[in-house]
Structure formats: structure tokens, C-alpha cells
Structure 1
Amino acid sequence: MATTSLPFLEDRGRLKLKVENRIKNVFVTQSEESRHGHQIDVKHIPVVTETSSKVLEAGVNTLQKTLVLKKQAELDEVDKQLALKRQEFKSSVQALAQRKSELEIKQQQTKERAMKFEKFVAENEVKRCRALNKYEVAWEQNNLKQKEIEGLTEQLKQLRARHQVLKERMTKYKIYEDYLMKTLDCLPSTFRDSGSDSLAMPIIRRHETLSITNQELLQCLGHLEEEVEDGQRKLQTMKQEHIIKKLMANKDLSELQSELESLKEKNKQAEVNLLMEQGLSRDKIEEVGSLFMAINNLAELCYIPTYGPLQNMSVLTKMDMVKEYILDKADMEKRARGLMDSGSEMTSRTALTDKKGRGSMKSIGSKTQIKSSSKVSGKSETMG
């Protein structure tokens, strides 16, 4: 444990030394007589009667021997402070132990309170669930009762309306009742008998049977109307289903027709390939191949977009396209000639000579193309 530094003590005055006549400083080997003699030359040593702590508190400059007293005083002071610290530590330990016990007691009390609170919360939760279930049951019952009340009020309204109608009908037929009562009063007593042998009973029974028959007929009419409505709905659904099936059948038929056309084209191509493989010579095959290449080249040069893509065209379609292209060019040439005739003579002559040359060349080319197309068509027909 570290020693605490002592505080600086202020000077409280000088020390009061008490000089007493004590025994002289003699050697132990001296005799007692010599000890008591010659007291005149003896120097008395001042004796400090104060304690070391008081000496140090006075702040007197001491010798080296007094340093031991100073350290002893410091050690005593430190021991005192250590004892005080130990006492304080012991008291603080006791206080902490007491506080710990109090805290343990409080913790135990808190746990008990927490357990009680949890139990209270659980009981409240159970009560809340019960109350909620009761509320839901009561709410459902209230809704049912409310619906019953609404239904009963609706029935009451209907009954009141029926009562009002019957009341109005009674007031309406009151005059007839009065008339009948007056008529009964005027009739003889034989007609007033209300027994089974009275004359009015057959009429009443006949009226009752007719009214019952009328009600039955009205019920049958209502059933028949419902059946007619059901039949009309079924007929409408059947018509819609028939239309849908018809459309689907038409779609399937068109798809089958397109497949049939494609199969026919494939069959023709297969027959041509078969004939070429079976009976045709190499020269004929080369000639036909060159003709097909020429037709394809002409079709590429004379392509018309209205005929569709060139890859999907047949040979006859390509030839028809080339023919139409040549006829269009010839028609354009005729129109150009007619327009050029209205011009000047020199221009017309030069234009006519040029056009004649071009026309002759084009006619020769068109004739050769027409001849080649006719040959190809004839060969294709023979091959077909």
C-alpha cells in the first residue's frame, strides 16, 4: 500500500525545552563517589520532553538522529491512515454485504412480482380471449338477430301492404255484400237455409273448385314459362356452340386444304424427280436444268412484287410473271411512241428510228423469251 505524503505543518512556535538536573554523564566504570563529586563543571544536556510527532509538527531543523523519529512519525501516521482505511474498507465491505443482501432480497421480490405480473398477464390474456370469443359469438348472434329483424320488418311491410290491399278490396266489395244481404232479406225463407240442402251450396262448391283449378292452372303456367325460358337459354347456348364448332370446322378444313395443295405440289415434284431419275438422259436433264435456270434468271430480272416472294413461286407462276412484265413493257413502248409522234418531225424521225431499232431488238428478245417459255411450258406439260 502506497504511503500518503504528509501535509506541510506550519510553525506553531518554538519548542520549549525543559532542562532538569539529571544524573551526570558518567562512565559506568566510575565509582559512585566520583559520580556525585565535581558537579561544578558538568554541562547539562537539554532533554526534549515532547513526542516525536509534536517535534516534527513544530518544523524544527533536526539532526540526522531525529530523521529516524521523523520516519517513525510518518510510519505511525501511515499506520493510522492504513488502520482508518482498513476500518473504512471493512465498513464499506459490511455495507456492500448488507447492500448485496438487500439487493438479493429486492431481486427476489422483483422475481416474485414479475412472476405474479406474468401470471396476471396470462390470466388477463385468457380473460381477453374469453371476452373476445364471447364478443364474436355475441356479434354473430347480433348479426343473425339483425337479419331476422330485417326479414321480419320486410314481412311486416309486405303484410301491411297486403292488409291495405285487402282493406281496399273489402271497401270496394262492400257494396256487393250489402246488395247480397239485402237480396237475402228479400228472398223467401226456403232460400235462406244455409245447410247442405240449400240451393246456394252447389254454386259455392263449384266456385271453390273453379278457383282451385284456376290456381293450379296458374302454377302450371308459371312452370311452363320457366321451362320455356330454360329451353330458350339452352337453345341460345347450343346455337353459340354450333357457331363455334362451325368456325373450328372451317378452320380445320382450310388447314387441310392447304395441306392438300402442298401435298399435291410435293407429289408433282416427286413425279418429276422420279421421271428424271428413271427415263431421262443426261442431256435432257441438263437442258431442263438450263431452262429452269433461264426461267429463274428471267424471273429475277422481271420480278413483280404482287406475285409474292420469289422462292415460293412455281415455274408456271414465274413464266406468267415474265409474260406480264414483257406485255407491260410493250404497252409502255406503244404509249411512248404515241407521245413522241406529236413532237417535231426531226425528233420524231430520230426517235422513231431509234425506237424501231430498240423495238426490233426487244421484239426479238421477247419472241425468243416467249418461245423459250412456250417450250418450257410444253415440256412441263409433257413431263406432267
Structure 2
Amino acid sequence: MTTSPLPVLDGDSCPKVQMEKRVKNVFVTQPEDSRDRKKAVFCVPATKETPSKILEVGVKTLKKTLIARKQAELHEVDVQLALKTQDFRSCMEALALRRSELETEQRQAKEKMMKFEKFVAENEVKRRRALKHCEAALEQNILKQREIEDLTEQLTKLEARRQVLKQRTEKYKIYEDYLMKTLDLLPTIYRYNSYESLVMPIIRRHQTLSITHQELLQRLRRMEAEVEQGQRQLRNLKRQHNIRKLMSTKELSELQSELESLKEKNKQAEVNLLMNQGASREKVEEVGKLLMAVNNLAQQCYLSQYGPLKSMSVLTMMDMVKEFILDKADTERRVRRLESCSTAALMDKRWRESLKSIGSKTQIKSSSKVSKTSETFS
């Protein structure tokens, strides 16, 4: 806010006090040197103006001096205000620059936060994928380890069987040697024909039985593997069943607690409903009584211009009752006014009749007096 500077006063425009030269008072007894020394002393001049005028001139000069001082102070205030305004503007510019920098930093922080959240989400997806992969690899490792254990067990069994068969072959080797020596000692006639005809069916039967035995052993191993796998699946199913049983038990307990809370809420709701039904029943009874009263009033205050009473609404009935009551009040007011007028007319009529009776009585008296005087005269 800038203030308009006041007009500068001119010192020459004010009236000047006129002084007259006056001879100094000098004592004769003083020496001349002292007189000469006192020449430099200023003396109070004598004025030709009156004291009131001098006082007025002094007041004016004092006012002008005060105005000039106030103008100087006002100029200083204007200068300080301009400096403060410039400082405020510079501060506002710095604040605006700082605000823009803060908005830019905030936007960059939001972008960094979004990028970080996206990075965290991607890392979470990667972590879950890696966990799934690790779980699948762990399951595969467990299965492979079980297969290795099964194969190791089968290998140990086969090694034991091989040792048994080796011992058995070593045991039966003497019989084979004996048979071979016997065969060498037989004549050539029985060596080929009868040997083939008697021994070959036994050997073929033995080969067939050995093949069947091997197939049965393989089938038995497959069945054992299937049974073991079924047992593992059964154990897994039992474990899962126990876990599901525990979870279902937990859910059942939670549902039971929820059921208890719902029962309590239902009981409270039933109590509130009964209370509300009682209150609503009372309200319905009051509304019914009010409607019956309105219907009774409408029947008593029926007006034909409103139509049939059965098709009227409650508001229409109340309007009709209101109009009927207003008509009755207006009629009563008119009747009272007419009664007051009729009583006044009746009183006037009685007063007139009384006046007439009084006049007739005076006339009768006067006529009787006249008759009496006539009788006397006669």
C-alpha cells in the first residue's frame, strides 16, 4: 500500500515576525573595553507584533514542522514498505521455486516407489516360481531317492539270490560231472537217439518252468512295487486326511463359535423385533384410533362438494372438517351478530312502545280532564 506524499511546505511562505533594532542598555560605569567585548552578544530583538499573532505564527510553524517531520517519517515508512515488499516477493519466488522442486522430488519419489513396488512384485513372483520349482525338484529328488533305495534293495536281493544260485550250481556241479562221465561211458547207440528221446523233454520242461518262474518272479516284483506304492499313497492319503481333519475341526469350531454368536445376535434381534412390534402395534392402534376419529368427524361434518365419503383420503377429510368448522364458526359469529342486532331492535321497539304507552296515557288523562271540565261547564 503506497501513501500519497503530503505537499512540502515552503519556509518563506509563512509570515515573518518583524523586529526593530533597539539600542542596547549600557551602564555608564562600565569600562569601554568591557563594552566593546559585549558588542558580540546577541540581544533579544523587540517585535512590533502582538503576542497573540506571535503565538499564532509559532503554532503554524510548529504544525508545519510536525507535518514535515511526519512526511519524512511517512517517506521512510514507504521506503521500508517497498523493501519489505521486495523481500516478500523474493521470498515468495524462492518458496515457489522450492515448491516446484519439492513437487518434482515428490513426483520422482512416487515414480521410484512405483518402480520399487513393481520390482518387489516381480521379485515376489520370481520367488514364488523359484519356491514352486524347488518344491517340485525336492519332490523329484525324494522320488529318485526312493527309487534308488528300491533299486539298491533289489540289487542286494539279486546279489543274495546270485550267491544262492552260485552255491547251488557248485553243489550240483558234481552231479553234472557224474552225468557227463556216464554219458561218455555209454555206447554210441544210446548216446544220441535214446538220450535225445529221454532227456530233451525234461530239459525243455525245465526251461519252460524256469521261464515261467522268472515271469512269476517279475510279476511278483511288480506287484510288490505296486503294493509298496499303494502303501505310500495310503500313508500320504492318511496324512492328508489327518491334516484335512484338523482343518475341518478348526473350521467346525470357528463355525460353532460363529453359530453361537449368531444365535446370540438372533436372540437380541428377536427381542428388539418384539419390542419394535409392540411399539409398532401401539403406533398402529393409535393411527387406527386417529383414523376412526377422522372418519367420525368426516361423517359428522360431511359436505357434498367433496364427493362421496368412501373415496376421500384422510387429508381431504381433514380439509372438509376444517372447512365445516370454519363455516360453523362464521355462522355462529353471524348469528351472534344478528342476535345482538335483534336485541338492540327489540329494546328499541320496547322503548318506542313504552313511549307510545306513556303518550297514550297522557292523552287519556288529558281527554278525561277535558271531559270533566266540560261536564262542570255543562
**More helix by percentage:** 2
After TM superposition, the score normalised by the length of structure 1 is 0.35
After TM superposition, the score normalised by the length of structure 2 is 0.36
